[in-house]
Amino acid sequence: MIIPCIDLMDGKVVQLVQGREKALEGDSPDEMLRRFAAFPQIQVIDLDAAMGRGANDGLVEMLASKAVTRVGGGVRTVERAQKLLAEGAFRVIVGTSAFKADGPDLAFLQALVDAVGRERIVLALDSKNGRIVVRGWQEATQFTAEEVIHQLEPCCGGFLCTYVDKEGMMQGTDLDWFRRLRAATDLEITAAGGITTIDDIRALEEMRIHSAVGMAIYTGHLDLAELAAL
């Protein structure tokens, strides 16, 4: 499955490079919904909420009410997850709050599973320089995705694994990393970060891994009609 991405910042659709530098602005959220109508799911990330500097709640609610969305960014409480699902989100993406300094926060995750159900949760294993990063990719932890992915299986319906080192850089992704993750879990994996070509997407499909695609779509490097046909 190919999942187009809508990232929100300051009320606008944007694309960042490695979660830091804004590279471009997209069309309006409504227009992006129209352009992505042929795809079964859309990924919506509130970057302001992820970085702890505000939120785009109105836009997130609008998008969740009009499309099948997986929504992330600032989902750090059970109440926030419940609110997003009540507004129409199909699934919630949880990153920062899934971890403590010494590893996964299993108590919080169990409370979340009890409240919303395992299948409605996607856990984000976003990695830079080999380590999981949190708080809008601004802070590095001391553990790797490979070390924790099996432990986290009871807490989610799947994983969003972003190779932050290549995020937004249009240089391809690390297929070997995704092969290691695929070998470590039988749960659904969605790949993100540096996916640039149809060959990248096909290689991931052969591993039974979904592709979340942003920059390559917004720059026109990947054609929406061709992607929809896949």
Q: Which residues are catalytic?
A: 7, 126
* Residue 103 contacts residue 143 (beta carbons within 8 Å): yes
d(CA 56, CA 220): 26
d(CA 66, CA 52): 26
SS3 content of the chain, % helix, strand, coil (to 5): 40, 25, 35
Which SS3 state, helix, strand or coil, does residue 50 take? helix
Residue 160 forms beta bridges with which residues? 124, 190
Pairing of the two strands 69-72 and 42-46: parallel
